[in-house]
Amino acid sequence: MLKWIISFLLLSHVSVWSDTAEVSQRHHEEPVILVIGDSLSSAYGIDIDAGWVALLQSKITGLDCDYKVLNASVTGDTTAGGLTRLKKALVRHQPALVVLELGGNDGLRGTPLSVVEKNLSAMIEHSSAAGAGVALLGMRIPVNYGPRYARQFHDLYRKLAAQYDVPLTEFFMEGVALNPALMQADGIHPNAQAQPVLLANAWPAITQALGEGCQTH
């Protein structure tokens, strides 16, 4: 547990573009689902096709649904970096849905919650103004960062979900973060076996956000 926390904190300072972060600039005939996240969504250390975002595309394709999933996740990213990238991506891709998986690195750095809230709020507002729905994937941080900060950090996602009426996954890493069998050898990043679990965690919020735009039986 401690190894995962310390190592994740150290790696959160390194921002590296994943292969999927360089999303295509071509016009998309299908409505777009845009995933903005960090290493948890960038398929760090595993085959890109094994990542939960790629599995999301496969799942959607298997349904009566024509969405194109674009992954704009960056290893080590924060809410500030995500906000900057999101503004450009909204213009470029005009997504129908934005999936926000950010904030974990902010929390591990001890970023003031007011800053995290401001950035996440701005991302939700920019997405909504662009006509996109939003699904919010929540994160938690260990209590050794301070019980009060950890509690308020977790509650922040609930607060934003209620304030903006957007679907929320309470803890995106539920069932994964503390399971060594689902983590890579570095003890930091989810392995390929964890990706279906991450997708299952995110799926209810995503389908709720899509509503009747996708049949999810």
pLDDT-derived band at 213, boundaries 50, 70, 90: low
> Is 19 among the catalytic positions?
no
Range of the domain at 72: 2-211
Domain assignment present for 98: yes
Task: Read off the pLDDT of residues 146-199 as tens digits, 9 standing for 90 and up.
Answer: 999 999 999 999 999 999 999 999 999 999 999 999 999 987 799 999 999 999
> Is 186 among the catalytic positions?
yes
The span from the CA of 143 to the CA of 123, in Å, is: 27
Q: What is the CATH number of the domain that holds 194?
A: 3.40.50.1110
The span from the CA of 175 to the CA of 167, in Å, is: 20
> Is 189 among the catalytic positions?
yes
Task: Read off the pLDDT of residues 32-52 as tens digits, 9 standing for 90 and up.
Answer: 999 999 999 999 999 999 999
Which residue's structure tokens are 């960056």? Answer: 74
Number of independent structural domains in the chain: 1
Domain assignment present for 139: yes
Among residues 12, 39, 73, 127, the one annotated as catalytic is: 39
